[in-house]
Amino acid sequence: MSNDTPFESEIYYEDDADTSHILNKTVAVLGYGSQGHAHAQNLNESGVDVVVGLREDSSSWGAAEDDGLEVATPAEASARADIVSVLVPDTVQPDVYENAIEPNLDPGDTLQFAHGFNIHYNQIRPPEDVDVTMVAPKSPGHLVRRNYENDEGTPGLLAIYQDETGTAKQEGLAYAAAIGCARAGVVETTFREETETDLFGEQAVLCGGVTSLVKQAYETLVEAGYSPEMAYFECLNEMKLIVDLMYEGGLGEMWDSVSDTAEYGGLTQGDVVVDEHARENMEQVLEQVQDGTFAREWIAENQAGRPSFTQLHQAERNHEIEQVGAELRSLFAWSEETEDEDETERVTADA
């Protein structure tokens, strides 16, 4: 445990985790999507007894079995488990909880989440005689799996909502270690803090802010007469390369790597584009997360059959940048293959 950092939160590592808190238990991983497949396989390879819970007609059932995992219905898996890891989509969790989990919870069991939405916004109200924990990787699930396979870690969060047994934290840490998060570091937080920061981050920056910035910059260039391929490379493709530098060494490493011209232009124009209005809008986004407006809207949207979500989802897939990007990426793959073929021919000729 790091207690000599300037941070308020405790950060835990593998040495802090006692895996005996999970190795003698059965974990039901409900869902085999982005997080579910990663948690189930990582737990299994860490020596934990895992049963995946899926509905009988699930498209993921075969994939989980092909990965060597035992699969049962959510109710059967929950009944067998000491720890029920709820990794179906947030919007279906209340229904899965009511029908499959709650009737099969025994006193002392653990209800485990990767995001606090349904607990924080009171969509799931667990009984008092179970532990309620969260181990939330700060990463898409596919990277949680890839990092584990590469003997690397994924940073994660740990939060305890209910500690009926007195061992919820040790068990949560053991779970975090078994999915690979403790290799990188596990930050202790609360359900409220995780839920509100996660929703704000994905809306304002990671998913919403970034895609809007990319699309509006692309449209600005194309409407001004520049070619779509130039606009794509400049506004989307190079984004990854720039963000990689920030990821490795912070904003400073990125500024050090770009030209002084880019640094001066970026430092003077960045705040012109993302100005005080954007900041006010961010504050409003945060407020709507904090006061539950966003949660109520999203719950109502699902109850109505997702009319807005479906339309927005389709419009995003149909944006011109998507067609241009698909075409350009296929040409890139083609040229790499061609280079590989050229290389093979050259080596063969040399031999």
Ligand X SMILES: CC[C@](O)(C(C)=O)C(=O)O
Report the binding-site residues for NADP(+): 32-35, 55, 58, 60, 141
- The SS3 call for residue 89 is coil
Whole-number minimum distance, CB 270 to ligand NDP, in Å? 28
Alpha carbon 143 to chain centroid, angstroms: 9
Instruction: Return the closest-CA partner of residue 130 out of 171, 73, 180, 191.
Output: 171
Number of residues that bind ligand X (CB under 6 A): 5
Q: Are strands 131-137 and 26-30 parallel, antiparallel or unpaired?
A: unpaired
313 belongs to the catalytic site? no
Select the span of 96-104, 201-209, 217-225, 334-342 touching ligand X (CB under 6 A): 201-209
55 binds, among ligand NDP, Mg ion, ligand X, none (CB under 5 to 8 A by kind): ligand NDP
Is residue 207 near ligand X by the rule CB under 6 A? Answer: yes
Is residue 198 near ligand X by the rule CB under 6 A? Answer: yes
Catalytic residue, from 37, 115, 120, 319: name it. Answer: 115
Alpha-carbon gap, residue 95 to 92, rounded angstroms: 6
Is residue 172 near ligand NDP by the rule CB under 6 A? Answer: no
Instruction: Return the closest-CA partner of residue 37 out of 94, 114, 122, 95.
Output: 114
Whole-number minimum distance, CB 198 to ligand X, in Å? 5
Number of residues that bind ligand NDP (CB under 6 A): 24
Alpha-carbon gap, residue 37 to 121, rounded angstroms: 26
Both structure tokens of 257: 């790597």
Whole-number minimum distance, CB 17 to Mg ion, in Å? 22
Of 202, 283, 327, 339, the residue at the interface with ligand X (CB under 6 A) is: 202
Q: Quick one: 92 or 278, whose CB is closer to ligand NDP?
A: 92
Is residue 84 near ligand NDP by the rule CB under 6 A? Answer: no
Q: Quick one: 21 or 138, whose CB is closer to ligand X?
A: 138
Alpha-carbon gap, residue 116 to 262, rounded angstroms: 40
Residue 157 phi, psi dihedral angles, 5° rounding: -115, 150
Which residues in 339-348 are b (16+ Cβ under 10 Å) and which e?
eeeeeeeeee
| Contact positions vs Mg ion (CB under 5 A) | 198, 202
Q: Quick one: 113 or 324, whose CB is closer to ligand X?
A: 113
Alpha carbon 51 to chain centroid, angstroms: 22
- The SS3 call for residue 83 is strand
Task: Indicate which residues carry an active-site annotation.
Answer: 115
The site for ligand X (CB under 6 A) is made up of 140, 198, 202, 206-207
